[in-house]
Amino acid sequence: MTATKLAIVGVGKIARDQHIPAIAADPAFELAATVSGSGGVEGVENFATVDALLEARPDVTALSLCMPPVPRFAAAFAAIANGRHVMLEKPPGATVAEVLTLDGLARQTGVSLFATWHSRYAAGVEPAREWLADKPIRRVRVDWKEDVRKWHPGQAWIWQPGGLGVFDPGINALSILTEIMPLPLHLSGAELTFPENRETPIAADLTFTGPDGIDATAGFDWRQEGGEIWQIEVETDQGTLRLESGGARLTIDGTDRPLEDDGEYPGLYRRFATLLADGGSDVDLAPLIHVADAFMLGRRVTTDAFHD
- Buried b / exposed e along 57-74 (16+ C-beta atoms within 10 A): beebbbbbbbbbbbbbbe
- Give the model confidence (pLDDT) of 245-267 as tens digits: 999 999 999 999 999 888 999 99
Minimal CA–CA distance to 71: which of 167, 200, 157?
157
Q: Does 124 have pLDDT greater than 70?
A: yes
Antiparallel, parallel or unpaired: β 255-256 and 249-252? antiparallel
Residue 111's pLDDT band (boundaries 50, 70, 90)?
A: very high
Predicted confidence at residue 221, as pLDDT, reads 98
Q: Which stretch of DSSP H or E encloses residue 204?
A: strand 203-209
Predicted confidence at residue 38, as pLDDT, reads 81
Predicted confidence at residue 261, as pLDDT, reads 86
107 and 130 housed in the same domain: no
Lowest mean pLDDT among 98-112, 151-165, 224-238: 151-165
209 and 125 housed in the same domain: yes
Asked if residues 32 and 60 have their Cβ atoms less than 8 Å apart, the reply is yes
Antiparallel, parallel or unpaired: β 229-236 and 137-145? antiparallel
Residue 19's pLDDT band (boundaries 50, 70, 90)?
A: very high
Q: Does 110 have pLDDT greater than 80?
A: yes
Predicted confidence at residue 1, as pLDDT, reads 67
* Domain boundary, last residue among 86, 115, 144: 115
Just list the catalytic residues: 90
Q: What is the CATH number of the domain that holds 165?
A: 3.30.360.10
Look at residue 152 and tell me if it is in a domain: yes
Distance separating alpha carbons of residues 256 and 175, to the nearest angstrom: 22
Predicted confidence at residue 243, as pLDDT, reads 98
Residue 121 DSSP code: G
Look at residue 276 and tell me if it is in a domain: no
Residue 2 DSSP code: P
* Domain boundary, last residue among 48, 80, 115: 115
- Give the model confidence (pLDDT) of 197-221 as tens digits: 999 999 999 999 988 788 999 999 9
142 and 234 housed in the same domain: yes
Residue 154's pLDDT band (boundaries 50, 70, 90)?
A: confident
Look over the chain and give the mean of its residue pLDDT values, rounded to a whole number: 96
Residues near 181 by beta carbon (within 8 Å), at least 6 away in sequence: 132, 137, 140, 210, 234
Look at residue 267 and tell me if it is in a domain: no
- C-alpha pair distances (Å), 88 with each of 71, 74, 173, 190: 12, 12, 18, 27
Minimal CA–CA distance to 219: which of 241, 189, 248, 199?
189
60 and 132 housed in the same domain: no
* Signed CA dihedral, 78, 79, 81, 86: sign only: negative
Look at residue 41 and tell me if it is in a domain: yes
70 and 161 housed in the same domain: no
62 and 129 housed in the same domain: no
- Give the model confidence (pLDDT) of 274-299 as tens digits: 999 999 999 999 999 999 999 999 99
Asked if residues 1 and 13 have their Cβ atoms less than 8 Å apart, the reply is no
Cross-sheet strand order for the sheet of 85-88: 45-47, 29-35, 4-9, 62-65, 85-88, 113-115
* Domain boundary, last residue among 67, 91, 115: 115
77 and 174 housed in the same domain: no
162 and 299 housed in the same domain: yes
Look at residue 268 and tell me if it is in a domain: no
Structural domain boundaries, residue 251: 119-260+292-303
Q: Which stretch of DSSP H or E encloses residue 151?
A: helix 148-151
**pLDDT, average across residues 3-16:** 95
32 and 172 housed in the same domain: no
Asked if residues 95 and 289 have their Cβ atoms less than 8 Å apart, the reply is no
**pLDDT, average across residues 20-32:** 97
38 and 184 housed in the same domain: no
**Total structural domains within the chain:** 2
3-state secondary structure of 27: coil
23 and 157 housed in the same domain: no
pTM for this prediction:
0.95
92 and 145 housed in the same domain: no
Q: What is the CATH number of the domain that holds 87?
A: 3.40.50.720
Look at residue 109 and tell me if it is in a domain: yes
**pLDDT, average across residues 20-41:** 94
Look at residue 281 and tell me if it is in a domain: no
Backbone angles phi, psi at 65, to 5 degrees: -95, 115
